[in-house]
Structure 1
Amino acid sequence: MKKLVVVAATAGLGMTGLGLIGATSASAATDTSAAFHPASLNWHACQTDIVKGAKAYDALGPVKVSTIIQCAELQVPLDYAHPNGQKITLELTRTPHQGSGPAKGDIVVNPGGPGGEGALFGPRVYAQNSAAMQKAYNVIGFDPRGIGFSTPKMTCDEDYTNAPRPAYGTGGKVTDAAWLAKSKAYAQACAAKWGPGSKLDLMDHIKTIDSVRDMDTIRKALGNKKLDYYGASYGTYLGQVYATVFPKRVGRMVLDGNVNPKHVWYEAQLDQDRAFDKNIEYYFGWIAKYDNVYHLGNTQKKVHDFFYGLEDTLTGKAVAYQGAAVGPDELVDGIQSAAYRRSQAVWNAYAAGLSAYKTGDVAAFVDTFGVQTTGGSDDNEFAVYNAVQCTDTQWPLSWAKWHADAVRVNRTAPFETWGNVWFNAPCLYWGAKAGKPVKVGQTRDLPKNILMFQATDDAATPYAGALELHKVLRGSHLVVQDGDRTHCIVHRGASAVDAYFDDYFLNGTLPKQDTVHVAQLGDPTPPASTAKTAASAHAEVVK
């Protein structure tokens, strides 16, 4: 769940939502997609931009995925209730197995979001797979509807994230008024382009259930009787819903960094607020441990005070350099990456960026945290994030409730509470009707072979939600990495984790116990040189 944020929390950041109210029946969901029969996939050489993107993962393993990746386009109904009506196109990638003979199967993968681009997630997963997995399986990535290389590509206001934005604040009248107006304008821009009455009413057909039906269409187009699937973050919610709606079509399914099915989506943001605050304070303690490197204070409290003092300073005056700027929002959004994942490159980069500010190195500080001030940005992720979250289920329509909840949570978790509010505030004004989410697990034929992975201190998808999902997905198995703070733990350096992943896909073997525990990897130490750039940190985040 990115943030289940561009800025705030991606089940990645900013995952939020009301508790489950009602349900879309599994039988109804199945019937509406059963009538559509997709064309066969025509795999071909990928366009240049996709090949360039795949090259970012060439160094992750022995196979240069950019040289073998293939692409295909798949037409699906905009509205599965009208299978012969208007169509949209999904972009698919296939990174083919390297073994002799036919592949063991096709693993369809999704990186989360909602709003995460998935076509390039396929070669990333493949590159990180073990040699045995690369020989056995094709990996199928796909950009969900509205995202990335799929068409149409949903954007609403490409100037929305230009820096510096209004300060997130703490619930005061001035900041509230500024952000409510900004959020309403964004929602209105989306409705004008993509809502009822527009050329293509995508906003009414971009719920989780729509992408779940697309996943089943992908299965059909691949010619497979069952879907083998790996989903991370919000991708676990896609998997949960698929297993509920199409239980007999589940092959082998892995869910990594798990969404709480009963907190979709409003309560999820409140869960994140508390968890991210805990993780950022831990990170401040790590910085303090290496005060001889970063010089920001030799206690957690001193680093905490430095950070929040800097946030206040930037609220008064942003720091700008060569077309980019850092205000208080950009500072919070940037350093949030350190609360997502325990990593030497990420942890060092942001600590070094803070240190650069203290030493007066404006260029390095802005390089680490800065966002462009003009020219706009690709807000595809943010647009689709809102489009899915705001219509999966009805958010509270009372600003008084949002405000009261945020004030309450902010008392003990001030790091990202208000940033998460404003990340999700367009849902107050969204121009498409909300639906009712599928009640996960409420089906007679629920598969018993789903394998889950979770770190106990994951902030984007907190551990309590994984335990709830494990209970709901009766017969599932859970691999827990104790004490780790990384969001999604497969292919993150823990051989014990990856061994369970491989044994499941290669042999169908589940852990002997219902829940098994593996040890955390431990905290990183600063590298010999602390000159890591923000680009290095961001590259590390996507691995």
Structure 2
Amino acid sequence: MIRLKTTLTTAAVATALLAGIGVAVAEPAETEMAERGGLSRYYDQRLEWTGCDHEQLDAVGAQCANVTVPLDYRKPRGRTITVAISRLKAEDPARRRGIMLSNPGGPGGAGLDLMLVVKERMSPAVRAQYDLIGMDPRGIGRSSPVDCDWSVGTMLRSGGVDRAGFDRAVALQADLAKRCADRESDRLPHITTRNTARDMDVIRGAMGERRVSYFGWSYGTYLGAVFTEMFPQRADRVVLDSAIDPREYGYDMFRDMGVPNEAALTAWAEWTAQHHAEYQLGTTAKQVRAGVEALIQRSARTPIRIGDHRLDDNSVPTLLFGPLADPRGYPLLAAQVRELTDAAAGKLVRPSPELDAALRFMFGPGAHEDGDGQAAVLCGDASYSHDPESYWRHIQRSRATQPVFGAFANNITACAFWARPVERPTVVHNHSPALIVQATGDTRTAYSQGVGLHKVMKGSRLVTLKDVAVHAVFGNYPNTCAENAVNTYFADGTLPATDITCHDETR
């Protein structure tokens, strides 16, 4: 999942996943690798728990440790890296069930502090039973991070309004891929979801646990699903929130983002038209949308100067994409479009702190989020078309129905210039129990993605949050119905008898 900086919560993540096919290595092979492949020293290691050197984690008494894992699981006696984890101990040791691992999405999201957010919506019964484990996945954050010395914070860009814009996008993505190949070619093949799943099992073993429960947002749902396929006997209670269909993990899933983002933009335009007195962007949704489309066209001719930044038709849609992950971001987006509109008209605009932070992340290396580590996972997990013209054709076909986000969702990324993966993607098809939570208007992982995961994880139940365009529900968007389903499952292992539908409680 591609992650963009926003001002809402760590849940404001975005997923761009690119295509791949193949057959996964079966779980018994993973067990044999662990038992007879020289991995025992990793499973048997003694963890040293210390303070986290993290203000929020240290304030609540969390502990952190570094877990040693092989860079290449095929060479367990070779080079090693470390994976940083955090632990919030179960609140009632007498009722402790085990550990709950987690992932915030991205890929590229550092997750040491995820459980600080999520636990606020967990019931006392859940907090009593589990050590809550945060993790920076390999290559990310404090876990031997990838560093490609990128010129930008994220590879996520629109393909522009014309061929000139697309050619600029191609040149940027080729440069980003070359930077990674030049600096990290020895590690890139091993920064993958399958290896992160293996790391999770090492963490389990090093902590002396027989099984692990799991909570994941967005890309974290794919990681969780892969874990259940690779280590089915090690997965306990699993919640996958804002899910990915593993059959479409790749370019097709990324393309699915176009339609819900156009719908969310229309919903935002309707809201903004009702607040015309404040934002002066139009009195009807049609006027507001027309203004946004005109802004993108204008930026193609003359880049918009605002603060230290220049925005063109490659970057304006990326900026719009960020706040659309949550309807509570509509005022933020309206304010930012107002700023851009004024700047495009030649006014001297000092960007708001929120806009400046978003632009600094987009145009410069992120201070907290690793776009290059994110690319390592996305590009290392699956194969992508290396033909730029194939992306251009998809963009052109999308423009009629997706005037703002068609060129964004169908665009080329650095993965088009990446080396082929060393492993085939995991085919997920099992009966592992799991609870899948999905909002119908999700702009990052379309509702159909959650339905698709539900179909291939035949032991799962689906909780649908109806008529809400939000990405990441539990721990982010208040909804008693969804929270009760999650807490009940984590607390006593009871899945809903059937799939259930929840309704927005914020209106």
Given the two structures, how large is their TM-score scaled by the length of structure 2? 0.89
Quickly say closer, same or farther: Cα 1:16–1:409, change in 2 above 3 A. Answer: farther
Going from structure 1 to structure 2, the CA distance change for 1:166 and 1:267 (only over 3 Å counts) comes to closer
Determine if the alignment matches structure 1 residue 98 to structure 2 residue 85.
no
Alignment of 1:167-316 (within 5 A): 168-172=159-163, 174-195=164-185, 201-316=186-301
Q: Report the CA distance shift for 1:433/1:509 in structure 2 as closer, same or farther (over 3 A).
A: closer
In structure 2, the partner of 1:482 is: 466
Instruction: Go from structure 1 to structure 2 and tell me whether the alpha carbon gap of 1:74 and 1:432 turns closer, same or farther (over 3 Å shift).
Output: same
Change (3 A) 1:187 1:332: same
Secondary structure class of the residue paired with 1:45: coil
Give the letter for the 1:123 counterpart. Answer: L
Tell me the distance in 1 between the aligned counterparts of 2:215 and 2:109. Answer: 14
Structure 2 distance, partners of 1:167, 1:506, is: 43
In structure 2, which of residues 148, 164, 177 is the aligned counterpart of residue 156 of structure 1? 148
Change (3 A) 1:6 1:100: closer
8 Å contact 1:390–1:434 — kept in the other structure?
Answer: no
Match of 2:333 among 332, 350, 366: 350
1:45: which partner in 2?
A: 51
* Secondary structure, counterpart of 1:262 in structure 2: helix
Is 1:130 the counterpart of 2:123? The answer is yes
Counterpart of 1:41 in structure 2: which amino acid?
L
Task: Give secondary structure in 1 for the equivalent of 2:327.
Answer: coil
Matched, 1:117 2:102: no
**Distance (whole Å) between structure 2 residues aligned to residue 428 and residue 246 of structure 1:** 31
Q: 1:153-204: per-residue Cα shift (whole Å, max 9, x none)?
A: 11213323499x99741341x2233222221111111011111xxxxx2111
Pairwise mapping of residues 18-57 of structure 1 onto structure 2 (< 5 A)?
18=19, 20-34=21-35, 35=37, 36-37=39-40, 38=42, 39-47=45-53, 51-52=54-55, 54=56
Asked if the contact 1:459–1:485 (Cα under 8 Å) also holds between the matched residues in 2, the reply is yes
SS at match of 2:248: coil
1:455 is aligned with what amino acid?
A
What does residue 140 of structure 1 align with?
Answer: 133
Question: Residue 437 in 1 paired to residue 425 in 2?
Answer: yes
What is the CA–CA distance in structure 2 between the aligned matches of 1:372 and 1:327, rounded to whole Å?
Answer: 15
**What amino acid does structure 2 have at the position aligned with 1:481?**
L
Superposed counterparts of 1:466-481, under 5 Å: 466-481=450-465
The aligned residue for residue 79 of structure 1 is 72
Aligned length: 491
Q: Say if 1:187 and 1:473 are closer, same or farther in 2 by CA, change over 3 A.
A: same
Report the Cα offset of residue 325 of structure 1. 4.5
Structure 1 counterpart of 2:502: 518
Q: Among the aligned pairs, what percent are the same residue?
A: 26
1:374 is displaced (CA, Å) by 12
Tell me the SS of whatever aligns to 1:371: helix
C-alpha contact (below 8 Å) 1:109/1:118 kept by paired residues: yes
Match of 2:355 in 1: 368
Secondary structure, counterpart of 1:305 in structure 2: helix
Q: How far off is 1:321 after superposition?
A: 4.8
- Shift of the 458–374 alpha-carbon distance from structure 1 to 2, 3 Å rule, reads closer
Preserved contact between residue 94 and residue 138 of structure 1 (Cα < 8 Å): yes
Q: How big is the shift at 1:398?
A: 2.2
SS at match of 1:228: strand
**1:325·1:372 contact (CA, 8 Å) conserved in 2?**
no
SS in 2 for 1:210: helix
Structure 2 residues without counterparts, runs of 5 or longer: none
C-alpha contact 2:256 2:409 (8 A) present in aligned 1: no
| SS of match in other structure, 1:498 | helix
1-side partners of 2:140 and 2:464: how far apart? 31
Aligned 8 A contact 2:152 2:362 in 1: no
Offset of residue 401 of structure 1: 1.7
Distance 1:14 1:373 in 2: 16
8 Å contact kept, 1:338–1:350: yes
> Is the partner of 1:236 in helix, strand or coil?
helix
Distance 2:398 2:142 in 1: 38
Cα separation, 2, equivalents of 1:334 and 1:489 = 22
Once residues 69 and 216 of structure 1 are traced to their aligned partners in structure 2, the CA distance between those partners, rounded to angstroms, is 21
Instruction: Give the 3 Å change call, closer, same or farther, for CA 321–501 of structure 1 in structure 2.
Output: same
Distance 2:309 2:422 in 1: 37
Distance in 2 (alpha carbons) for counterparts of 1:375 and 1:248: 44
Partner of 2:415: 427
CA deviations on 1:197-223 (whole Å, 9 max, x unpaired) are: xxxx21111121111111111111121
